[in-house]
Amino acid sequence: MQDKYLPADIERAAQQHWDSTEAFRVHADAARPKYYCLSMFPYPSGKLHMGHVRNYTIGDVLSRFHKMKGFNVLQPMGWDAFGLPAENAAIQNGVPPAKWTYDNIAYMKQQLKSLGFAIDWRRELATCTPEYYKWNQWLFLRMLEKGVAERKTQVVNWDPVDQTVLANEQVIDGRGWRTGAVVEKREIPGYYLKITDYADELLGDLDELTGWPERVKLMQANWIGKSTGVRFAFQHDIAGDDGQPINDGKLWVFTTRADTIMGVTFCAVAAEHPLALHAAKGNAELAAFIEKCKHGSVMEADMATMEKEGLPTGLFVTHPLTGKQVEVWVGNYVLMSYGDGAVMGVPAHDERDFAFAKKYDLPIEQVVALGDKAYSLDAWQEWYGSKDGVCVNSGKYDGLNYTDAVDAIAADLAAQGIGEKKVQWRLRDWGISRQRYWGCPIPIIHCDSCGSVPVPDDQLPVVLPEDCVPDGSGNPLHKRLDFLHVDCPKCGKPARRETDTMDTFVDSSWYYARYATRFGADKMVDEETDYWMTVDQYIGGIEHAILHLLYSRFWTKVMRDVGLVTYREPFAHLLTQGMVLAPTYFRELEGGKKEWVNPSNVTESVIGGKRYAWVQNDGLNFGETNLVEGRGNQSKIRISASKLDVIRDDDEHGKQSVVIVAGDRVQIGGVEKMSKSKNNGVDPEALVKQFGADTCRFFIIFTAHPEQSLEWSDAGVEGAYRFLRRVWSFGHLFASEIRGQIGAQRQLAGAKLPEDLTAFRREIHLLLKQANYDLGKQQFNTVASATMKMLNALEKAPRQGALAAETIEECFGILLRVLSPLTPHISHALWLDLGYGEDILKAAWPEPLDAALVQDEVELMLQVNGKLRGALRVPADAAKDAIEAAALAHEATIKFLEGRAAKKVVVVPGRLVNIVG
């Protein structure tokens, strides 16, 4: 074997071996237990970043570990290939999204292959291919038939200059990202999937997901947001244009705080509410306000933080229980698309209403009391919103607690026929229509006589033309007459294809099932999925905790109801990988636009306590010096660059620091997850080239707990490389000096080892025990530490004589196998070269031997009054009394008790003794 560690050669050979033996190609085999290990597939943004490497290394560690444990392991890979970045790239470079996407896939696939993942590439899929998205369309049609899909109106961000719909991401400070125009809200038709029909089941089945992190289930439960409340109406006789009362004379609202109904002092309706529109007819100020409400964001975060504004309509409705007249206001914070587009205002007990009432000088009437706390109108206090109080100033409801008051009030409203208890969900239906080109076409044909007609199954897929180049001004499909013009499937007259495409979350909602289907099957899923599904282990970023996972769960339940599958949940175990973060940098362009600069091109320095950053556009020198009282030694700095920038700053001692920067100054943004849109992805390629895939894999596993977010830094990667070099050297030493000492007959089993060999062997088996325990917890960073500790022990172990050589053979074999899921290439090479076996993939996973773990004596910590004062060696089987006696007699005990008697002795077996005195 080579005496030097040459990762490039080793990795090429190992990968060729896996390719030629089709090591990771798997098929259903009912005789073997299966393990379906799935990592979230990547968006083909152009290059891998460290977030991908982390995700797929974790998946690969689990896959290889389970393979050695004897499971039939499926680990597939594919591409979430539709989406916005391809259109942005087209706008920038004029390349069709299809070409850009396929080029990126080819590049990233080769990057993935260089990392040596145990992937069954035969099952690779890309969601932008008609073979895949045909089934999006097919199931969508089934949903239409079942009434799970329906067409209604949606509110979108509208750029009035580009005449196009904007994604939330494309709205910056309320303006279009390209045009800078103030964005408007616009209502347009679109298709919805009725996920709310499944709300109860999606919530209830969370209990079945015992392999999911609690926090993810909690987030999903909060998102679904089941709450019981009361829906009731304020009555009125406000007549519309037709002379009839608007909405039958009822203003419906929903509340979870019906117990505060006696504290209602106003109502607020959305700008689009019929009462608002009616009042605006004779009121120019109100009409202008309603118009203003149409501008601004549709995002919840913006709605929640924006200044709450309103105007009175001059209209009054009747309180259903007091009969009082209540004024109706229009509020910018009330959304027509939520509930009935109207809310009751109880300023005394709702923080938002409180602020609104203070701002517009509306009455505030306390109707809930908590203990003897005094209510004051000066400022909002936390307890005002509490459900733990009792009703006051509420007539017959006085003294009732929350539950009783809600029950009584709901009953009284029901008796009048204008209200009832209602379960309300926070979850809204899933709008899937996107006014965008690079997505799966929605299979609908619009006919003047027949309306919206589903495309017949035998005409699927509706194929997206792949040669369009979006320019930012709307969907290019509008200009594609060959796509647009089609005959109506019903009446045969000329009709028009739907140009909206599907949300890309549709694509990712069922790809896991397609992987498990025989390649090229002309069915959405086939019998093979019954073997592989459900996914045993799903791995992906915590940022997908809600939307992607919830949509996938919903989609699974729809497939079940259509009769395609029998399982009700797609993912049995979920590992939410922490995100890989990196700093962001940007240049501000005119119009507030930001151009994001990759961190690899940026240098940072701290000057006078402030951080500065710049791009080294020439890759040349910059200098740094301290000016003391204005006199510096700048003559030593050599600068050559096209652009210089001098930064001066005083530190707290009045010393002036100066940095002369060769390059463009950039602004420092936050530390955020690596993404295409913020251009802060760090490409692993340089690391792989310099140190090899094993080092890269080992380092990213070693550097943090898988669930913890990680600010990327490659400081320390040399340490991982050094470690693997030492592993290789030890292998070389074993081959050249140690292995030869082993006799013809193995004698380790049953042999009585000398003390130093016993201790060494025990240490390795103890580390193995810890590593196996940590693998079970999916804490891989400490598995990596354990392998380093094993090597430290191996290097120090006695190596003379047959028994020592045999012990080292056993222990190095353990190290190679524990290491192999993390660094498969070097493990493969050493296993083969040192004669352990043909293929480490087929080796059995090691288990610690009880015989190697036994010990005669243990060390206990000795505490006096909870402070560590000494240590105690006792026989491993010592009785509690004997330990107590030994502890009390210990010199540290006598010293720190200072003559006091021991009041209490706490003995924790195997760990410590605490003497309280």
Partner RNA sequence: GCCCGGAUGGUGAAAUUGGUAAACACAGCGGACUUAAAAUCCGCCGGCGCAAGCCUUACGGGUUCAAGUCCCGUUCCGGGCACCA
- Contacts to RNA from residues 721-780, by CB under 7 A: 722-723, 725-726, 773-774, 777, 779
Residues 646 to 685 in contact with RNA, rule: CB under 7 A: 670-673, 675-677
SS3 for 727-754 is HHHHHHHHHHHHHHHCCCCCCCCCCCCC
> If you search the block for the tokens 């109860």, which residue do you land on?
200
CB of residue 357 to RNA, shortest distance in Å = 17
Binding status of residue 146 toward RNA by CB under 7 A: no
Minimum CB distance to RNA, residue 837 (Å): 27
Among 37, 61, 105, 165, binds RNA (CB under 7 A): 165
CA atoms in the 13 A half-sphere facing the CB of 843:
24
The interface with RNA within residues 412-431 (CB under 7 A) comprises 426-428, 430-431
- Is 403 near RNA (CB under 7 A)? no
**What is the smallest separation between the CB atom of 246 and RNA, expressed in angstroms?**
28
The stretch near RNA (CB under 7 A) out of 27-35, 222-230, 412-420, 844-852 is 222-230
By beta-carbon proximity to RNA, the closer residue of 151 and 725 is: 725
Structure tokens at 275: 């009462």
Residues 6+ apart with CB under 8 A from 774: 780, 782, 783, 786
Distances in Å between the Cα of 635 and the Cα atoms of 625, 631, 632, 638, 714 are 10, 11, 8, 8, 34
Per CB under 7 A, contacts with RNA among 537-556 are 542-548
Distances (CA, A) of 156 to 171, 295, 801: 11, 11, 78
How many other β-carbons are positioned within 10 Å of the β-carbon of residue 377?
12
> Minimum distance from CB of 383 to RNA (Å)?
12
If binding is defined by CB under 7 A, does position 715 make contact with RNA?
yes
Position among 55, 75, 114, 154 found at the interface with RNA (CB under 7 A): 154
Closest C-alpha among 687, 717, 722 to residue 703: 717
819 lies in the binding site for RNA (CB under 7 A): no
* Residue 190 bridge partners (DSSP): 152
Beta carbon of residue 745, minimum distance to RNA (angstroms, whole number): 33
Q: With binding defined as CB under 7 A, does residue 222 bind RNA?
A: yes
CA separation for the pair 809, 824 (Å, rounded) = 19
Stretch that binds RNA, among 110-118, 238-246, 298-306, 562-570 (CB under 7 A): 298-306
| Contact call for residue 256 and RNA (CB under 7 A) | no
Cβ distance to RNA smaller for residue 851 or 908: 908
Please name the residue that has the structure tokens 């289930």.
217
Token pair for residue 439?
């997505």
> Contact at 8 Å (CB) between 888 and 915?
yes
Map residue 273 onto helix, strand or coil. coil
Tokens of 794: 């191996």
Locate 768 and state its tokens. 């193995």
Q: Which is nearer to RNA, 136 or 154 (CB)?
A: 154
Q: Which is nearer to RNA, 321 or 797 (CB)?
A: 797
Residue among 637 and 912 whose Cβ is closer to RNA: 912
Residue 259 engages RNA in binding (rule: CB under 7 A): no
Of the candidate spans 366-374, 598-606, 707-715, 752-760, the one that interacts with RNA by CB under 7 A turns out to be 707-715
Exposed, middle or buried by CB within 10 Å (0-12, 13-18, 19+), for 563? exposed
Q: How far is the CB of 205 from RNA (least distance, A)?
A: 18
For 600, counting Cβ atoms within 10 Å of its Cβ (0-12 exposed, 13-18 middle, 19+ buried), the class is exposed
97 neighbors 142 (Cβ within 8 angstroms): no
According to CB under 7 A, which residues from 305 to 364 bind RNA? 305
User: Which one of 182, 627, 704, 888 is in contact with RNA (CB under 7 A)?
Assistant: 704
HEC readout, 826-865? HHHHHHHHCCCCCCHHHCCCCCCCHHHHCCCEEEEEEEEC
Candidates 521, 637, 861, 897; binder of RNA (CB under 7 A) is 861
Distance separating alpha carbons of residues 790 and 166, to the nearest angstrom: 56
Q: Which stretch binds RNA (CB under 7 A): 270-278, 588-596, 649-657, 861-869?
A: 861-869
Distances in whole angstroms, Cα of residue 799 to Cα of each of 738, 741, 756, 808? 7, 9, 11, 7
Helix or strand holding residue 405 (H, E): helix 402-415
Residues in the chain: 917
Query: Is residue 710 within the footprint of RNA (CB under 7 A)?
Result: yes
Q: Does 581 bind RNA (CB under 7 A)?
A: yes
Tell me the CA distances in angstroms from 143 to 190, 529, 552, one per residue in order.
15, 21, 15
Rg (CA), the chain: 34
Among the residue ranges 89-97, 175-183, 242-250, 902-910, the one whose residues contact RNA (CB under 7 A): 902-910
Q: How far apart are CA 764 and CA 210, in angstroms?
A: 33
Give CA–CA dist 430/604, Å, rounded.
43
**DSSP state for residue 745 in the 8-state scheme:** S
Reduced to 3 states, what is the DSSP secondary structure of residue 788?
helix
Residue from 74, 84, 368, 597 binding RNA (CB under 7 A): 84
Decide whether 25 or 722 has the Cβ nearer to RNA: 722
Does 853 bind RNA (CB under 7 A)? Our answer is no
* Binding of residue 373 to RNA (CB under 7 A): no
Q: How far is the CB of 300 from RNA (least distance, A)?
A: 3
Is the Cβ of residue 177 or residue 329 nearer to RNA in the bound state? 177
* Binding residues for RNA, total number by CB under 7 A: 101
In the complex with RNA, the residue whose CB is nearer, 46 or 320, is: 46
Looking at 59-67, 137-145, 263-271, 704-712, which segment touches RNA (CB under 7 A)?
704-712
Angle between helices 717-733 and 802-819 (to 10 degrees): 140
**320 vs 821, which CB is nearer to RNA?**
821
Note whether 450 binds RNA by CB under 7 A: no
Stretch that binds RNA, among 65-73, 215-223, 610-618, 635-643 (CB under 7 A): 215-223
> Taking the CB of residue 46, how many other CB atoms lie within 10 A of it?
18
Judged by CB under 7 A, does residue 781 bind RNA? yes
Smaller CB separation from RNA, 26 or 298: 298
Considering only residues 560 to 579 of the shown chain, the ones binding RNA according to CB under 7 A are 579
Least CB distance to RNA at residue 654 (A):
25
Q: How far is CA 866 from CA 339, 841, 861, in A?
A: 58, 49, 11
Give the contact letters, 485-504, x = binds to RNA (CB under 7 A), - = no.
Answer: ------------------xx
Q: Does 868 engage in binding with RNA (CB under 7 A)? A: yes
DSSP 8-class letter at 14: H
Letters for 8-47 (x = contact with RNA by CB under 7 A, - = none) are -----------------------------------x----
Nearer to RNA, 716 or 875 (CB): 716
- Binding flag, residue 85, RNA (CB under 7 A): yes
Exposed (0-12), middle (13-18) or buried (19+): which is 367, by Cβ within 10 Å? buried
Asked if 508 touches RNA (CB under 7 A), the answer is yes
Interface residues for RNA in 510-539 (CB under 7 A)?
none
Residue whose CB is less far from RNA, 854 or 868: 868
Give the separation between CA 559 and CA 525, rounded to whole angstroms. Answer: 10
Which region, judged by CB under 7 A, interacts with RNA, from 177-185, 210-218, 525-533, 609-617? 210-218
Which residue bears the tokens 């008796």? Answer: 415
